[in-house]
Amino acid sequence: MRACRGEATPRPPLWMMRQAGRYLPEYRQVRQSVSFLDLCKTPRLAAEVTLQPIRRFGFDAAILFSDLLVPLEANGLEVQFTEQGPRLPNPVRTPADLARVIRFDPTKQTDFVLETIRLVREQLGADTPLIGFAGAPFTVATYAIEGKTAKNFAETKKFFYREPEAARRLLALLAETTRDYLLAQVAAGAQAIQIFDSWVGVVSPDDWERYVLEPTKALVAAVRASGVPVIYFGNGATTILDRIAAVGADVYGIDWRLPLDEARARLGGAAAVQGNLDPVVLLGPIAEIERRAADVVRRGGGRGHIFNLGHGILPETPIEGVEALVRTVRGA
């Protein structure tokens, strides 16, 4: 929490995106008896999975186990989780389709998420904060429009260019519902919030200004007004970092494509940054993990740096690689 405020810490605090996931044998054991969506919707199990990496590695923060598309389902769109990834059988492709995207009450439609937060807080103790999260309006919109994880985002961009007013309405609605969802997480006990903009890297500077900035900025401001720090992670967006600084977050998550000191400079000297080891490094030799992790620590600058990966940890990551990373950061 001190690092989120840009304060000096003895070492960078450490957590990892997707730290509660398939690389852990204890997670795979839980998944043998339950589907992914049922796991997200069963507070007792979701809390257990959230806590597993804390027990094993003692990370400095826990992050809620859930999925970016959980609130999109509550918005009224059918979401299926398949072996090939998430699918939305009836995507939003026309202005008329916006009528199917509805506001929802987080205490009713996503009460299982809030109960998971309460259960985790009961077991975490006072020294380990819990991070809540949601997808940013643009990233969630891509799933609503594409109907799946996309490669070139052609459907999204066609919708924006052909129906600009409808696109703005969709992003504004998603920003409002995400605000309600995240504020409910804070009320339930989340002590910080990360907003994942996983696909914002496909946005041009012009489209960022015309469509994406305002709803994202409004969302960040609303959550910050609740008193908790906000981490904004714009994956693949190093070329527009100077523009991204306008969202007004407390912390900016940086992927592995740019060294942290250079990223901070492009952000205009942001108080805090998060990142940014390439997750593939954890599949390599221990000596290389140690070397690269130490370099990230050095470039983080010693103040307002949260150590993280530049994206989510890969399922095939060996436990030994994570252990080496933890030793290196803690020894910094």
**Does 18 participate in catalysis according to the annotation?**
yes
132 close to 99: Cβ distance less than 8 angstroms: no
Q: Determine which one of 143, 211, 232, 252 is catalytic.
A: 143
Helix pair 213-224, 164-188: axis angle to 10 deg: 20
Give 78-141 as a DSSP string.
--EEETTEEE-SS---SGGGGGG-----HHHHTHHHHHHHHHHHHHH-TTS-EEEEEE-HHHHH
Q: Determine which one of 31, 93, 257, 327 is catalytic.
A: 31
CA 192, 213, 219 angle in degrees (round to 5)?
Answer: 35
**Does 252 participate in catalysis according to the annotation?**
no
Q: Determine which one of 22, 87, 169, 327 is catalytic.
A: 22
Three-state DSSP string of 272-319: CEEEEECHHHHHCCHHHHHHHHHHHHHHHCCECEEEEECCCCCCCCCH
Q: Determine which one of 23, 27, 67, 292 is catalytic.
A: 67
**Does 31 participate in catalysis according to the annotation?**
yes
Q: How many Å from the N-terminal Cα to the C-terminal Cα in the chain? A: 19
What is the H or E stretch that residue 28 is in?
helix 25-31
Phi, psi of 311 (to 5 degrees): -165, -170
**Does 224 participate in catalysis according to the annotation?**
no
As given in the structure block, the two tokens for residue 306 are: 């949260």
Q: How far apart are the C-alpha atoms of 200 and 217, rounded to whole Å?
A: 14
Would you call the peptide bond into 276 cis, given omega within 30 degrees of 0 as the criterion?
yes
Residue appearing with tokens 């398939």? 22
**Does 143 participate in catalysis according to the annotation?**
yes
Residue 97 amino acid letter = D
Of 315, 275, 303, 249, nearest in space to 22 by CA: 315
3-state secondary structure of 208: helix
- Catalytic positions: 18, 22, 31, 67, 143
